Amino acid sequence: MSVDEFSMSAEKRSHWLLSFWRSTVGKKVVMALTGAIGVGYVVAHMLGNLQVFEGAEKINAYAALLKSNLGLLWTARSILIAAVGLHIVAAYQLARTSQKSRPVGYKRWRSVGSDFASRTMRWTGPLLGLFIVYHLLHLTTGAVHPDFVEADVYQNVISGFRVWYVSVIYIVAMLMLALHLYHGAWSMFESLGVNHPKYNRLIRALATILTAIVVAGFIAIPAAVLLGFIS
């Protein structure tokens, strides 16, 4: 029996899926995959939203189309809820591990490698979570929208964003999304081991461009309403 076989049989090994989830590397893989679902979703959501510039008829028809097949709608929603849930649980557990790993901090600490976006992932994440709750209550259920009209997306967007502080909330939230995507959209490739000098710079550049496009697309709508371009 080799040393390797001996140590393998001596340890009581848990199910591979369980040890995958328990390991920090495995949890980062979960964060990357669920994050990728999130990235795909925000891109689609942003593109869909831009139809507001084509008038009420167009975007309301698009909204009706999305809700026309309940089976598809709830399948998509279930995947998103599961992805966001796993992303949050993994992030929370990993953050706790990191916190516990340094019980005594430094009197002096200076950053030489990280950037603002990477250091604020742990704040932009929860804040975006809170924003999503507000956003669902505002434009999906209408619970916190004073002039909510069922199935009239265009009107709800216009009347919602005319309230200046609502627009400010949305714009600030999208700046949070910018920070979260700027770091997350490239670092998820590292978590998945997709890394090579051949394409590392390309991934970083594409992640930055994607972040800029998505956030600019989202912010354009409250900005256009506030500036009176659409009404």
Interface residue list for another protein (CB under 8 A): 2-4, 7-8, 16, 19-20, 22-29, 94, 97-98, 100-114, 118-119, 121, 183, 187, 189-195, 197, 200
Question: How many Cβ atoms sit within 10 Å of the Cβ of residue 158?
Answer: 18
Q: How far is the CB of 192 from another protein (least distance, A)?
A: 7
Q: How far is the CB of 165 from another protein (least distance, A)?
A: 33
Q: How far is the CB of 169 from another protein (least distance, A)?
A: 27
- Contact at 8 Å (CB) between 128 and 180? yes
Residue closer to another protein, measured from CB, 21 or 41? 21
Q: 């709830």: which residue's tokens?
A: 74
Q: How far is the CB of 19 from another protein (least distance, A)?
A: 7
d(CA 142, CA 73): 19
d(CA 166, CA 148): 14
Question: How many Cβ atoms sit within 10 Å of the Cβ of residue 83?
Answer: 19
Residue 110, CA distances (Å) to 95, 105, 114, 115 in order: 20, 12, 10, 12
Q: How far is the CB of 65 from another protein (least distance, A)?
A: 38
Contacts of 45 (CB under 8 A, 6+ apart): none
